[in-house]
Amino acid sequence: MGNLLLAVIYVAFISLGLPDAVLGAAWPVMYPQFDVPVSYAGMISMIISAGTIVSALMSDRLTLKLGAGKVTALSVATTAIALAGFSFAPSFWVLCLWAIPYGLGAGAVDAALNNYVALHYTSRHMSWLHCMWGIGASAGPYIMNYALTGGYGWHSGYRWVSILQVVLTALILISLPLWKTRGGETDASPAETGGNDENTTAEPRKPLGPIAVLAIPGAKSILIMFFCYCAVETTAGLWAASYMVLGHGIDADQAAAWASLFYMGITAGRAVSGFLTMRFPDHTMIRMGQALVGCGVILMMLPFGDLMPLIGLIVVGLGCAPIYPCVIHSTPAYFGADKSQAVIGVQMACAYAGSLSAPPIFGLIANHITITLYPFYLGAILILMIVMHENLRRVFAASHA
């Protein structure tokens, strides 16, 4: 039964990634039709991220009340409805309205699923599960590219992704009894027992608020680090196609396909990372990933033709691969299993704050200065991420000296 549930969680991670890169792939075609500036993609991304922040901060309370399984099913269903709304949107402002439930559906499920896996499964499964997210994130742009090149239009691309989300929702609903047998419907037992798989009786804990999380030593460092990671990943993914089109004169359809290679880099990297985690601890994997991101950013800065930015983008994707899953998986070790759901919820909120603020800020830079600053922007955020990770390690080492 445990293996069957793990298979369902793998599918759930695909559903998390499926819609994430669709906007970036479709935007070069969408914004002229809506007669808005190219920078307005950042506005939609900002609204989605705001919704995820709200639901992520509520994830501890929601998961204690409903359980990870029901939270997952409800969230994926909400996302499916929002994507269907996108497909019928007649104007930019209608897109903005549908972005609200889109964001609300994403935050709680992300925190609930990641904490569940961090408590119940090894680091390799965390990497491979996020590899499944990468498969979804890679498939989204290809679906949109097929819709664009086949003459179906971006509306159909969003509609097809919505239908896939509905199918995934049905699968998760069917699997709900498996979540009950894994650790209790509220998932309170694993958190209170340090992540054991067996059902135990324990006093139900109360939700831990953001202020209490901030008071934990080392929490601020990991929160800023997560902010930076999602700022890099979201900005890189959202603006990749536009950077290719406006910065290097590549055809919009070709750029949409090339942009998906960033997520393919993440996907391939996480598949490999799953094996590497058997040899290297989480913090070493994070450092290796940061080094690769830095190499990719440098490659994009080199003036050696149009293929160099593409190669650099793929390397950045490979570098991003181990960072997110290894930070999540190490959270119970840093802060304790009893606090991990609350900490991960606030981590997700900070990560989405990075998604909310970084892409639109770069949109303004692209609009008013030049989009060619894309790799320099990513590099500056990467430096802050590295500093915060090393500070977290120092705090952890001092507390365990």
pLDDT in tens, 334-390: 888 778 878 888 888 888 788 778 988 998 998 899 888 999 999 999 999 999 999
| CA separation for the pair 264, 259 (Å, rounded) | 9
Helical H segments across 92-185, by residue range: 92-120, 123-149, 154-174, 176-183
Beta carbons of 22 and 80 less than 8 angstroms apart: no
**Helix, strand counts (H, E) of the chain:** 18, 0
Instruction: Using pLDDT thresholds of 50, 70 and 90, give the confidence band for residue 297.
Output: very high
Q: Is 209 exposed, middle or buried (0-12, 13-18, 19+ CB in 10 A)?
A: middle
Instruction: Using pLDDT thresholds of 50, 70 and 90, give the confidence band for residue 184.
Output: very low
Mean pLDDT of 175-197: 49
Closest CA to 36 of 363, 318, 387: 363
Per-domain residue ranges of the chain: 2-198+206-399
Structure tokens at 93: 């402002």
Give the up-direction half-sphere exposure of residue 347: CA atoms within 13 A in the CB hemisphere. Answer: 29
How is 271-333 classified by DSSP, letter by letter? HHHHHHTTTS-HHHHHHHHHHHHHHHHHHHHS-S-THHHHHHHHHHHHHHHHHHHHHHHHHHH
Reported CATH class of domain 2-198+206-399: mainly alpha
User: Could you tell me the pTM of the whole model?
Assistant: 0.74
Q: Which amino acid is at 151?
A: G
pLDDT surpassing 90 at residue 323: yes
